[in-house]
Amino acid sequence: MSSSTGTKKDTFANYGAGSAANKGLGANAQNLYGTLAPELQAQAAHPMGYTPQQKSAINTAGQQSAGGSMAGATGQGALLAARTRNAGAGANAIQQSGRNASDELSKVATGTEVGSADLANQQQQNAYKGLEGLNSAELGGSLQALGLSNQALDVGNRAQPSFWSKMANTGGQLALASLMGA
């Protein structure tokens, strides 16, 4: 490979650019880590699940649904009693409707807690994944830039000396040999 001072100058410029990119990307990785890591660590340690407001809204909706079902059954029982002129005609239907509403309300309350726990587990897993991959892009780019700067130095070191460098080297060797021989 033939080379000149321009080639070496270019390789050292490439080294400088790679080194600067390494420093910039490394700083970006540190800033990103400093911002996101504490939040992800907190989420991994204490996943939240549903917020108290979300739990309240889910449970309120379940209670309203159960209450509406019970009110409807009571109304239908009263209509049946009025039509048949038998005050006890709707009692069994109303009682069964009450039991069904209570069962459904229990399922909603339990489902809310199970759903919240599932969401908390998912949030925790996402936090762990976020922590694992937090630095990979920036830090990987930083390491790649460092490798490129090292490659540029290697190219510069392997480059053939220019004509004038060879002449100066030969002249220096001859001068050294004459001094040593004298």
What pLDDT is attached to residue 182?
Answer: 60
CA separation for the pair 149, 155 (Å, rounded):
10
- What the block records as the tokens of 54 is 């979300």
Residue 23 and residue 127: Cα distance in Å, rounded?
A: 27
Q: pLDDT by residue (tens digit) across 94-149?
A: 888 888 888 888 888 888 888 888 988 898 888 888 877 776 666 666 666 666 66
Phi, psi (rounded to 5 degrees) for 50 = -70, 145
Q: Is the pLDDT of residue 156 over 80?
A: no
Read off the pLDDT of residues 37-51 as tens digits, 9 standing for 90 and up. Answer: 888 888 888 888 888
Ranges of each domain in the chain: 5-166
pLDDT given at position 167: 74
Burial class of residue 145 in the structure, from the number of CB atoms within 10 Å of its CB (0-12 exposed, 13-18 middle, 19+ buried): buried
**From 31-35, 81-85, 111-115, 150-154, the region with the lowest mean pLDDT:** 150-154
85 dihedral zone (left: phi>0; alpha: psi -120 to 50; beta)? left
* Confidence band of 171 (pLDDT split at 50, 70, 90): confident
In this model, does residue 1 exceed pLDDT 60? no
Cα separation, 8 vs 14, whole angstroms: 10
Give 57-98 pLDDT, tens digit per residue.
888 888 888 888 788 888 888 888 888 888 887 787 788 888
